[in-house]
């Protein structure tokens, strides 16, 4: 398998023309920043829309992950995705980075921890979990993230966990489990816990506490903060890639792997993260975390559309449960 190397980019006339085109677009970075700023301004205040789009992009990551099997290894995927995101942010967020750097520097410890655990380690554990455990187990245990958000909020911030909000949380989790088990909750009778299950459970804990930590992030712009997270994720992913190379387990991206990598870098890694952070700012981590339970439902719908899988009655039932749970927590959660 040939590496996805620089000679493919610079070793031809077409490659040189593409490089010149890219440089011209980088010089026009201020115009791109203006476009991004206008889009963000128009979307401001629509927390439900931001969180729904974030979940849609993350659900697409499930499809990309399935396509990428055997086409790119987990360590290479994580490192290269944050390399791409970091390069894009250097173009579109350079003004934010310049303005926010002095404010971020005093909080460098928390920035490093959030980027390392919420982005790098979470993603590495997620992809590694897929090697050892089944897709059903992965979907089930991923639904535990909102549980850790609510419990962590209670333990760390003293956030009240009302009866209605607990009911909403329970309904959304049941909805996710209904999809993951294909409507047969007796699956738990034969549930086997292995190394992959441990990986995704730990990853869910890390992302839950990352969501909570967003509440007290440094007082900087969302774009500037995310840029810092992306740079930290890139730097802390290098050791993971080095270990993978040392073990001889690296798979550099094929053409299919490169397409999966580009999708993962642009949509789940860049756009979804920005939308999710803004949604947390608007409605808080507890309620935003509940939207995470839409992942198995949206993932199932994408599988129907893109992979041709059938839509069963339990899909409709799960969707109703998840939406009801979100409604209870959103509208009646204080009761």
Domain locations in the chain as residue ranges:
47-331
More confident residue, 281 or 140: 281
pLDDT, average across residues 216-230: 87
Nearest Cα neighbor of 299 from 46, 65, 49, 48 is 65
pLDDT in tens, 151-184: 788 787 777 777 887 887 788 778 777 766 667 7
Rounded Cα distance, 228 and 124, in Å = 19
pLDDT of 189 reads 63
Q: What is the rounded end-to-end Cα distance, in angstroms, of the chain?
A: 58
pLDDT of 24 reads 57
pLDDT, average across residues 137-155: 73
Could you tell me how many residues make up the chain? 335
Query: How many CB atoms neighbour CB 285 within 10 A?
Result: 25
pLDDT of 245 reads 93
Residue 136 banded pLDDT, cuts 50, 70, 90: low
Q: Which residue has the tokens 């903060």?
A: 225
pLDDT in tens, 28-81: 544 544 545 554 445 445 778 888 888 889 888 777 777 777 888 888 999 999
Residue 27 banded pLDDT, cuts 50, 70, 90: low
Calculate the average pLDDT of the chain. 76
66's tokens: 């399935």
């Amino acid at each position: 398998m040939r590496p996805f190397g620089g000679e493919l980019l610079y070793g031809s006339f077409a490659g040189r023309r593409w490089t010149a085109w890219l440089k011209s677009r980088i010089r026009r970075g201020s115009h791109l920043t203006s476009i991004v700023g206008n889009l963000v301004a128009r979307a401001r205040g629509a927390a439900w829309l931001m969180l729904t789009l974030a979940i849609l992009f993350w659900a697409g990551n499930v499809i990309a992950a399935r396509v990428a099997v055997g086409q790119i290894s987990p360590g290479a995927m994580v490192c290269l995705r944050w390399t791409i995101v970091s390069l894009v942010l250097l173009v579109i967020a350079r003004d934010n980075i310049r303005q926010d750097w002095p404010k971020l520097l005093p909080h460098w410890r928390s920035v490093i921890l959030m980027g390392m655990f919420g982005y790098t380690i979470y993603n590495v554990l997620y992809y590694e979990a897929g090697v050892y455990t089944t897709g059903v187990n992965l979907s089930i245990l991923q639904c535990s993230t909102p549980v850790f958000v609510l419990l962590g909020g209670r333990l760390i911030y003293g956030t009240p966990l009302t009866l209605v909000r607990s009911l909403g949380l329970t309904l959304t989790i049941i909805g996710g489990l209904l999809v993951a088990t294909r409507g047969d909750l007796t699956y738990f009778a034969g549930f086997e816990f292995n190394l992959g299950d441990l990986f995704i459970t730990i990853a869910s804990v890390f992302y839950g506490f990352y969501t909570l930590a967003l509440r007290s992030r440094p007082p900087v712009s969302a774009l500037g903060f995310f840029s810092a997270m992306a740079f930290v994720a890139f730097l802390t992913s290098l050791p993971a890639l080095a270990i993978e190379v040392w073990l001889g387990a690296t798979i550099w991206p094929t053409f299919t792997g490169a397409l999966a990598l580009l999708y993962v870098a642009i949509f789940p890694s860049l756009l979804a993260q920005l939308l999710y952070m803004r949604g947390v700012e608007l409605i808080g981590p507890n309620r935003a975390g509940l939207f995470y339970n839409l992942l198995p439902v949206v993932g199932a719908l994408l599988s129907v559309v893109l992979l041709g899988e059938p839509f069963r009655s339990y899909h409709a039932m799960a969707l109703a449960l998840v939406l009801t749970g979100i409604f209870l927590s959103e509208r009646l959660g204080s009761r």
